[in-house]
Amino acid sequence: MTKLSDTHLQQNRAWHGVRLFVLILPMLAAMIYPVSSLGDGLSILLNGRSWHLEKKQGVDYNETNLGTGFQYDFSGNGDHVYPFINAGGFKDSFENNSYYAGGGLAKRFMANNSIHIDAGVTAFLMTRKDRNDGDPFPGMLPFMTIGTDKVAVNITYIPKVDPKMVPLFFIQLKISLTQ
């Protein structure tokens, strides 16, 4: 088998893992949170920007990380804590396609009658060309969301992970489709 065939098989395996995760995650969430407790929380995510907090000499990072995704926020528990699922894709810092699927928990704080600040953690499976030979790998990151029920900005902090990665902030625009 040629090297090209091995690479193609690895990419196929990575895609299969992400697709399987995206299909299974909503079913698991529905079992944990009965259908009667689902909220109207479907949003589109528009990926757009990252800010690398350190720069490596000779490396020109892509900080326009265009892509799309979705997020579904489930109804909370009455304490302003809500679970969510999400998935999407974007161009990473090296202009490669990167895909993720996961979910998490967020705590909502009301700044006033319409502006909220959510803080939480998201866990996911992700594929990256330069990590794990393109196979899905798990991760968990802190995030914050600032906005209204209609439009908000997700801000995720990604710490330095290995010698290749520098710390950065990743920004998404979250637009509600159901409210």
Hey, what are 168's tokens?
């950065």
Residue 79's pLDDT is 78
Residue 15's pLDDT is 56
- 140 Cβ contact partners less than 8 Å away, ≥ 6 residues apart: 121, 122, 123, 124
Mean pLDDT of 80-95: 91
Per-residue pLDDT at 136 exceeds 80: yes
Which of residues 4 and 94 earns the better pLDDT score? Answer: 94
Residue 36's pLDDT is 39
Residue 44 burial class via C-beta count within 10 angstroms: exposed 0-12, middle 13-18, buried 19 and up: middle
Mean pLDDT of 89-103: 91
Q: Does the predicted model carry a pTM greater than 0.85?
A: no
Residue 160's pLDDT is 87
Q: In terms of DSSP H, where are the helices of the chain?
A: 3-32
Q: Give the confidence band of 166 by pLDDT, cuts at 50, 70, 90.
A: confident
Per-residue pLDDT at 102 exceeds 80: yes
Residue 69's pLDDT is 92
Residue 148's pLDDT is 93
Write the DSSP assignment of 81-110 as a string of letters.
EEEEEEEEEEE-TTS-EEEEEEEEEEEEEE
pLDDT tens sequence across 33-70: 544 344 458 999 999 899 999 888 888 898 999 999 99
Distance separating alpha carbons of residues 25 and 73, to the nearest angstrom = 13
Q: Give the confidence band of 107 by pLDDT, cuts at 50, 70, 90.
A: very high
Mean pLDDT of 93-108: 92
Q: Which among 14, 46, 8, 29 has a CA at the least distance from the CA of 132?
A: 14
Q: Give the confidence band of 131 by pLDDT, cuts at 50, 70, 90.
A: confident
Per-residue pLDDT at 77 exceeds 60: yes
Q: Does domain 3-176 have CATH number 2.40.160.20?
A: yes
Distance separating alpha carbons of residues 102 and 82, to the nearest angstrom = 14
